Amino acid sequence: MRIVHIKLVILLSFILLITGLGRIQLFKGQHYKRQSRENRVRLIPIMAARGNIYDREGKLLAKSRLSFNAAVIPREAGSNSSTLTKLSAILEIPVAALREKLKQNAINPFVPAVVAEDIPKKKAILIEEKILRLKGIVIETVPLREYVYEESTAHLIGYITKLTWQEYKKLRFYGYRIVDFIGRTGLEAAFDSYLKGEDGGYQIEVDNKGRWIKILGHKAPRKGKDLHLTIDIELQNYIYNLTKERKAAVCVMNPFSGEVLAMVSTPSFNPNVIVSPSPQRSRKIKVIFNSKDSVMTNRNIQSAYPSGSVFKVVTALCALETKVVDVGQTINCPGYFKLGRSTFRCWYSKGHGEETIIDALKNSCNVFFYKAGLGAGIDSLSSYARQFGFGRPTGIELGGEAAGLVPDKEWKLKKKGERWYDGETVIFAIGQGYFLATPIQILRMISVIANGGNLVCPQIVKKIADLEACSKKPRRLNFKKENLDIVRRGLKLVVSDSGTGRRAQVEGVRVAGKTATAQTSSGLTHACFTCFFPADKPEFALVVFLEHGGAGGVEAAGVSRQIIEFIKRKYLSK
């Protein structure tokens, strides 16, 4: 009978139904139960505020301010496009822009996606009041980073941006979320794990519109730890305003402890442009990143330059220590030095005549140091340069520090495939040739003379929350005290009426320093002046490096004088 065939087909299809039902309800029931819970229970994170950054006197340098974001639940806005239209009217942002943002930020139909960041507080309140009529809109409050002194501290403090997907994959096991910010440069990067707080959140039950049905749990966010710096923001700002038109690296440090009081690099950038949302943000950021003047570079630590004559300090000490020259010994400077077929000139073509090592430092005579360096030899010269901390990072807390370069025979053979020539020793002795140093290394070098033979570690962070940051002990260098004194006497004379650094003289403060006018492969010379003061009882060490700034004795010493005067007014006139 045909009816039996039909019955058979129907029986089979009912068996199919029950089997299918059993498969998903009985065998895969647990899997779907979990999915249903994930649908229902949502974690609404509350971002922890990042730690503040203060200067040595407790002035606020970087803080977190509360900002408001307008977020839309994608499922809601998709079906009800009038939501975006209404929101656009309130925020005065075109609907297309909001829609674009929604598309970018939507990750789940029920998780609110931010469409407008950092909206004015008044508008946020307005939206909150109308929230019943604006279906699917959520106002989120998030802490936003703000840098109080903008350009002045940009390199020092650095900035933060959101994690990239690749970074998130690596860092998610360390408590980072994809929406988290991470420090990119400066202290923000180096101390990210301290500054970053611990996010809290609400565990809530929601419906399909993301509306809160009830709160299941709550964990309060924990603010990040505050940083207290050794920086004096008044000095920092003074220096910034003094040098902002130039390409300069200026650093002030305590020569005994290594505490950095100011570190300015110009030209600078405004880190608030990067961290705070604004309509033209991406364009503005592009301007910063593509700048020809490398505004992002902290020239104090990330750029290595030919140091020029400041290196004569090393050569002088090396020659004294290796007994190549003696305090009383004089060397004649006829204005040039012949080595084989080459002639090396002094900057003063008439020649300085017979001079002692102290006079040579005062005059910044090239010929004296050509001879002294050649006498000591490349091996001693590079060894002493290394003892002074050149050729390797100083270990300051900031990242991306350049090592500089101390050339020697081995390096030359390996890099250039050639043996070392005496002519190269000659120019190395006056800080030219292959030798490269960062301004902070120069500052550390001058501090060795100032503090009587200790190599300090520059330090910026004094305290993390309530804990003193441990400072690295200075390294004792085995230089003879009398040799250091000789160099110091020379450096004092540099900043005297007849010395090359006479423009750095300040009434009432005895300054000891060294000028440098470093030749570059192209363009104007670099101008550098490094000093410590008061010369007999040093409290401050200073380096001013002006990239393509002209003559060290004129430009760099001039800037230094103003800085020293400022410090005198603030610290030394008690």
By CB under 8 A, name the binding residues for another protein: 1-7, 10, 13-14, 16-18, 20-22, 24-26, 28-29, 31-33, 35-37, 39-40, 74-75, 78, 109, 205-209, 211, 213
- Tell me the residue type at 256: F
CB of 168 to another protein, least distance (A): 21
Q: Are 269 and 154 in contact (CB under 8 A)?
A: yes
CB of 102 to another protein, least distance (A): 12
In sequence order, which ranges of 233-365 are alpha helices (DSSP H)? 233-243, 271-275, 281-289, 312-321, 357-363
HSE-CB for 1 with a 13 A CA cutoff: 4
Query: What secondary structure, in 3-state letters, does 340-351 show?
Result: CCEEEECCCCCC
Task: State which residue, 113 or 528, has the beta carbon closest to another protein.
Answer: 113
Task: State which residue, 114 or 304, has the beta carbon closest to another protein.
Answer: 114
CB of 9 to another protein, least distance (A): 9
Task: State which residue, 132 or 470, has the beta carbon closest to another protein.
Answer: 132
Task: State which residue, 115 or 448, has the beta carbon closest to another protein.
Answer: 115
Q: In this structure, how many other beta carbons lie within 10 angstroms of the beta carbon of residue 63?
A: 18
CB of 107 to another protein, least distance (A): 10
Task: State which residue, 4 or 470, has the beta carbon closest to another protein.
Answer: 4
CB of 131 to another protein, least distance (A): 13
Length of the chain: 574
Structure tokens of 425?
Answer: 């020793």
Cα–Cα distance measured from residue 537 to residue 533, given in angstroms and rounded to the nearest whole number: 7
- Tell me the residue type at 542: L
From residue 402, how far is each of 300, 439, 442, 443, 518 by CA, in Å? 9, 10, 13, 14, 19
Within its chain, how far is the Cα of 58 from the centroid?
A: 21
Task: State which residue, 28 or 172, has the beta carbon closest to another protein.
Answer: 28
Task: State which residue, 164 or 208, has the beta carbon closest to another protein.
Answer: 208
Within its chain, how far is the Cα of 14 from the centroid?
A: 71
Rg (the chain; Cα; Å): 33
Task: State which residue, 205 or 379, has the beta carbon closest to another protein.
Answer: 205
CA angle, 426 as apex, 421 and 427 as ends, to 5°?
Answer: 100
CB of 84 to another protein, least distance (A): 17
Task: State which residue, 2 or 341, has the beta carbon closest to another protein.
Answer: 2
CB of 124 to another protein, least distance (A): 24
Residue 381 main-chain phi, psi, to 5 deg: -60, -45
Task: State which residue, 214 or 292, has the beta carbon closest to another protein.
Answer: 214
CB of 172 to another protein, least distance (A): 22
Q: Are 201 and 207 in contact (CB under 8 A)?
A: no
Residue whose token pair is 């650093």 = 251
From residue 95, how far is each of 1, 82, 285 by CA, in Å? 67, 10, 24
CB of 59 to another protein, least distance (A): 49
Which one-letter DSSP state was computed for residue 82? H
- What sign results for the dihedral spanned by CA atoms 136, 139, 140, 144? positive
Beta bridge pairs of residue 60: 54
CB of 184 to another protein, least distance (A): 33
CB of 81 to another protein, least distance (A): 15
Closest CA relative to residue 534, chosen from 569, 515, 509: 509
Closest CA relative to residue 512, chosen from 520, 501, 525: 501
Within its chain, how far is the Cα of 265 from the centroid?
A: 10
Task: State which residue, 29 or 395, has the beta carbon closest to another protein.
Answer: 29
Closest CA relative to residue 511, chosen from 545, 483, 488: 488
CB of 132 to another protein, least distance (A): 9
Task: State which residue, 7 or 130, has the beta carbon closest to another protein.
Answer: 7
Which one-letter DSSP state was computed for residue 394? -
Structure tokens of 132?
Answer: 């019943």
Task: State which residue, 22 or 175, has the beta carbon closest to another protein.
Answer: 22
Beta bridge pairs of residue 212: 206
**Strand locations in 340-407 (E):** 342-345, 353-355
CB of 10 to another protein, least distance (A): 5
Structure tokens of 20?
Answer: 């299918």
CB of 32 to another protein, least distance (A): 3
Task: State which residue, 25 or 164, has the beta carbon closest to another protein.
Answer: 25
Which one-letter DSSP state was computed for residue 479? -
